């Protein structure tokens, strides 16, 4: 249940003086308490340095616009430094605020607010809107027709239907290439996106290329190394960053390392993989896929060649003459993990250390499709491609279950709806449940890492959202991806209104010849406008987040900084919502910035009233938040053990 009268804190600049501290730094953290909450006599900030609680008294900074502000200075003692606020109310009751919400019982350390020391994301991450492409299906240059096809490929014309079953599923080749991407970069500029993430471009024996045969050069089918260099240069010239895709969990069986190791226990690469027999002929794979042997990261030589140092694969493509701007790591959640063995932290931290040695102005994202909180603590990953918090929640609220007959990988026809691999199908959520799930899955992730996590409606591994959503729900879903914290993602083809029942069928060649059709032009225009909204208002990139309302059908939230506040309404159906103006801000000065559907904001008599007819998504800007100066001085923390004894031992 959303209670807008709760005290508030998040990791944005209104509340945290330094988002990227180093170990030993003092950071001012601030708490904001609305008058409607009632009197607060005392606030104590509890940290947990070295897993031993310590307490700092907060100072009352005064009141502004119906809010009381408190501040405290805490010392960042650990790479992930958690903290929470204990509020002593005027009636002597105590409540605790952390990312899990406001509680009248003790709370979990894992849900505390958290500062991350070191490994700051590149400054450009905050403003990033990401566009994802699947190279074989995005665009085809004239040169593609002259390239010989490998034996495994099943050639397809650009307008041929996708084959959803094996072997066509992974071998159907449409001939999209990197020069084709260059030819269409102005489409990305027109949309307003400023980062391009592509799935793998290394040689392989499939159209998806997650079964790499080498990491040392770009697939000739895509144009080779020079075509990749041309793409990066052309993208950078347009202000577009380029994010590559690297698989650290496995290679393909055609990879030179695996071919050297298979059946040769004395080979230099023999310990690169998990072999189960002395002859090195049976091996560990990714999810029983015989073509995808799993890397064994105990191998020092594998680390040296792949992830460690200036001569590694990781470094090669970040350095000149290429200079990509970051990596998305495929199957990051399983990398280095097998049974009782867990080398995941070693691998991810080594990858990031190598990236920093080449350029600190780079981004590292992890694919971790379920609960990723234990990995997304900021020690390496700046964020994740993960589905539970935003993606599955949006689908469950705004999409409609449909039974669409389709052929699966085995050729059998089914009408069962795909929903992110959940065998129980798609649940139906209210707006409140969407908010609850979003808050639950982000409650254990530091704010800085939340901002680097991708807010995708769909990807190359999923069905397309539009397949199961009514037309009027599209602005709501796209709008939420652009206005909530995180990196908005546009999967190529969504702006064309493409539909697909699963991840394989979502990899459709883009219909460039249909761009001028009214329905497609309108959908492209919708994306262009909402991307423009995101990029025009800094509060949507770096501002805080306060939830103001959630019921069965609608949500209202506000993104805030000192310069501007952005008020957002998303509703499935008719709404009549009344909010206390003191909890919203200066709504009498609200300016409408976007409206899909019939929506009206009225501000008078101390109330803000939102009226909507039908499905609606609306955005207004308000004046920013004014806070009194922080009064907290140097941090003086009292360890809990000392407090139990009455003070330090003499």
Q: pLDDT tens-digit profile of 229-263? A: 999 999 999 999 999 999 999 999 999 999 999 99
Q: Is residue 289 situated within a structural domain?
A: yes
- Same domain for 493 and 400, yes or no, is yes
pTM score of the predicted model: 0.97
| pLDDT grade for 37, boundaries at 50, 70 and 90 | very high
- Same domain for 388 and 524, yes or no, is yes
- Same domain for 461 and 420, yes or no, is yes
Nearest to 375 by CA among 346, 353, 354, 355: 346
The CATH number that applies at residue 256 is 3.90.400
- Same domain for 525 and 616, yes or no, is no
48 pLDDT higher than 50: yes
Which residues contact residue 300 at a Cβ distance below 8 angstroms, ignoring those fewer than 6 apart? Answer: none
650 pLDDT higher than 50: no
The CATH number that applies at residue 320 is 3.20.20.80
Nearest to 436 by CA among 1, 141, 62: 1
Which residues contact residue 249 at a Cβ distance below 8 angstroms, ignoring those fewer than 6 apart? Answer: 286, 294, 295, 330, 331, 332, 334, 335
Q: Is residue 39 situated within a structural domain?
A: yes
Q: Is residue 1 situated within a structural domain?
A: no
Q: Is residue 256 situated within a structural domain?
A: yes
State the chain's mean pLDDT as an integer: 96
- Same domain for 283 and 404, yes or no, is no
Which residues contact residue 199 at a Cβ distance below 8 angstroms, ignoring those fewer than 6 apart? Answer: 132, 133, 134, 135, 208, 209, 210, 245, 460
What's the domain count of the chain?
Answer: 4
- Same domain for 477 and 604, yes or no, is no
Paired residues of 559 in beta bridges: 545, 566
- Same domain for 337 and 376, yes or no, is yes
Q: Is residue 11 situated within a structural domain?
A: no
| pLDDT grade for 633, boundaries at 50, 70 and 90 | confident
The answer to whether the beta carbons of residues 11 and 113 sit under 8 Å apart is yes
Q: Which residue has the tokens 């050297």?
A: 260
Q: Which of 468, 503, 536 is the last residue of a domain?
A: 536
Q: Is residue 327 situated within a structural domain?
A: yes
Mean pLDDT of 349-373: 97
Which residues contact residue 260 at a Cβ distance below 8 angstroms, ignoring those fewer than 6 apart? Answer: 267, 268, 269
| pLDDT grade for 643, boundaries at 50, 70 and 90 | low
Mean pLDDT of 613-630: 98
Q: Output the six-digit token pair for 601.
A: 């904001």
636 pLDDT higher than 90: no
Q: How many CA atoms lie within 13 A of 592 on its CB side?
A: 13
475 pLDDT higher than 60: yes
Q: Is residue 15 situated within a structural domain?
A: no
Q: Which of 495, 515, 536 is the last residue of a domain?
A: 536
Q: Could you give the percent of the chain with pLDDT greater than 70?
A: 98
- Same domain for 143 and 60, yes or no, is no
Q: Is residue 311 situated within a structural domain?
A: yes
Please give the pLDDT value at position 114: 98
- Same domain for 405 and 450, yes or no, is yes
DSSP structure string for 316-375: HTTSTTT---EEEEETTTTTTEETTEE-HHHHHHHHHHHHHHH-SS-EEEEE--S--TTT
Mean pLDDT of 137-144: 97
The phi and psi torsions of 8 (rounded to 5 degrees) equal -135, 140
Mean pLDDT of 465-487: 98
The CATH number that applies at residue 561 is 2.60.40.1180
Q: pLDDT tens-digit profile of 539-585? A: 999 999 999 999 999 999 999 999 999 999 999 999 999 999 999 99
The answer to whether the beta carbons of residues 557 and 548 sit under 8 Å apart is yes
Please give the pLDDT value at position 649: 38
Q: How far apart are CA 6 and CA 2, in angstroms?
A: 9
Q: How far apart are CA 116 and CA 76, in angstroms?
A: 8
Please give the pLDDT value at position 608: 97
Residue 66's domain spans which residues? Answer: 26-121+634-645
- Same domain for 528 and 413, yes or no, is yes
Mean pLDDT of 378-407: 97
Q: pLDDT tens-digit profile of 63-74? A: 999 999 999 999
Identify the three-state secondary structure at position 150. Answer: coil
Q: Which of 513, 536, 559 is the last residue of a domain?
A: 536
Q: pLDDT tens-digit profile of 211-228? A: 999 999 999 999 999 999
The CATH number that applies at residue 79 is 2.60.40.10
The answer to whether the beta carbons of residues 242 and 227 sit under 8 Å apart is no
The answer to whether the beta carbons of residues 610 and 579 sit under 8 Å apart is yes
Q: pLDDT tens-digit profile of 73-130? A: 999 999 999 999 999 999 999 999 999 999 999 999 999 999 999 999 999 999 999 9
- Same domain for 284 and 309, yes or no, is no
Which residues contact residue 303 at a Cβ distance below 8 angstroms, ignoring those fewer than 6 apart? Answer: 297, 347, 350
Q: pLDDT tens-digit profile of 363-374? A: 999 999 999 999
- Same domain for 116 and 149, yes or no, is no
């Amino acid at each position: 249940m959303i209670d807008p009268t709760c005290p508030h804190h998040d990791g944005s600049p209104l509340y945290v003086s330094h988002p990227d501290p180093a170990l030993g730094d003092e950071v001012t953290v601030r708490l904001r308490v609305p008058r409607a909450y009632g009197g607060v006599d005392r606030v104590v900030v509890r940290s947990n340095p070295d897993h031993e609680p310590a307490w700092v008294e907060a100072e009352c900074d005064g009141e502004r616009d119906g809010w009381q502000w408190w501040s405290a200075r805490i010392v960042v003692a650990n790479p992930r430094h958690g903290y929470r606020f204990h509020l002593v109310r005027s009636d002597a009751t105590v409540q605790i605020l952390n990312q899990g919400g406001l509680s009248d019982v003790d709370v979990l350390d894992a849900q505390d607010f958290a500062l991350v020391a070191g490994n700051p994301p590149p400054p450009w991450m905050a403003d990033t809107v990401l566009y994802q492409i699947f190279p074989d299906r995005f665009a085809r240059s004239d040169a593609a027709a002259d390239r010989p096809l490998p034996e495994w490929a099943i050639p397809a014309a650009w307008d041929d239907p996708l084959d959803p079953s094996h072997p066509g599923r992974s071998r159907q080749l449409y001939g999209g290439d990197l020069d084709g991407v260059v030819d269409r970069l102005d489409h990305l500029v027109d949309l307003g996106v400023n980062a391009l993430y592509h799935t793998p471009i290394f040689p392989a024996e499939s159209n998806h290329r997650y079964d790499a045969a080498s990491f040392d050069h770009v697939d000739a089918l895509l144009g080779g190394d020079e075509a990749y260099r041309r793409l990066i240069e052309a993208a950078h010239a347009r202000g577009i960053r380029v994010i590559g895709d690297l698989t650290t969990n496995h290679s393909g069986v055609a990879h030179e390392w695996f071919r050297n190791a298979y059946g040769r226990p004395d080979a230099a690469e023999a310990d690169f993989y998990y072999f189960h027999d002395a002859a090195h002929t049976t091996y560990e794979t990714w999810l029983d896929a015989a073509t995808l042997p799993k890397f064994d990261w105990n191998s020092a030589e594998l680390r040296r060649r792949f992830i460690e140092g200036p001569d590694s694969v990781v470094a090669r493509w970040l350095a000149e003459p290429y200079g990509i701007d970051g990596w998305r790591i495929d199957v990051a959640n399983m990398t280095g993990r097998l049974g009782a063995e867990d080398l995941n932290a070693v691998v991810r931290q080594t990858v990031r250390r190598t990236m920093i040695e080449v350029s600190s102005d780079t981004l590292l994202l992890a694919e971790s499709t379920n609960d990723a909180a234990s990995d997304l603590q900021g020690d390496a990953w700046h964020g994740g491609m993960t589905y539970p918090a935003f993606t599955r929640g949006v689908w469950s609220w705004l999409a409609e279950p449909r039974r669409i007959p389709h052929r699966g990988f085995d050729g059998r026809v089914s009408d069962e709806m795909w929903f992110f691999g959940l065998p129980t199908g798609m649940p139906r959520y209210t707006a409140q449940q969407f908010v609850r799930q979003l808050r639950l899955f982000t409650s254990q992730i530091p704010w800085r890492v939340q901002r680097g996590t991708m807010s995708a409606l769909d990807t190359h591994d999923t069905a397309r959202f539009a397949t199961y959503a009514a037309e009027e729900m599209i602005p709501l879903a796209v709008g939420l991806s652009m206005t909530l914290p995180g990196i908005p993602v546009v999967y190529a083809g969504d702006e064309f209104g493409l539909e697909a029942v699963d991840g394989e069928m979502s990899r459709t060649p883009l219909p460039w010849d249909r761009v001028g059709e009214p329905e497609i032009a309108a959908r492209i225009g919708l994306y262009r406008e909402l991307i423009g909204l995101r990029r025009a208002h800094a509060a949507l990139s770096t501002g805080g987040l306060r939830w103001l309302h959630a019921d069965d059908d609608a949500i209202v939230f506000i993104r805030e900084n000192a310069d501007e506040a952005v008020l957002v309404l998303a509703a499935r159906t008719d709404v009549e919502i009344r909010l206390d103006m003191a909890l919203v801000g200066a709504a009498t000065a609200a300016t409408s910035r976007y409206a899909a559907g019939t929506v009206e904001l009225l501000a008078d008599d101390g109330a803000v009233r939102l009226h909507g007819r039908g499905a609606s998504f609306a955005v207004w800007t308000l004046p920013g938040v004014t806070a009194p100066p922080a009064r907290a001085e140097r941090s003086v923390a009292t360890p809990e053990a000392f407090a139990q004894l009455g003070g330090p031992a003499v």
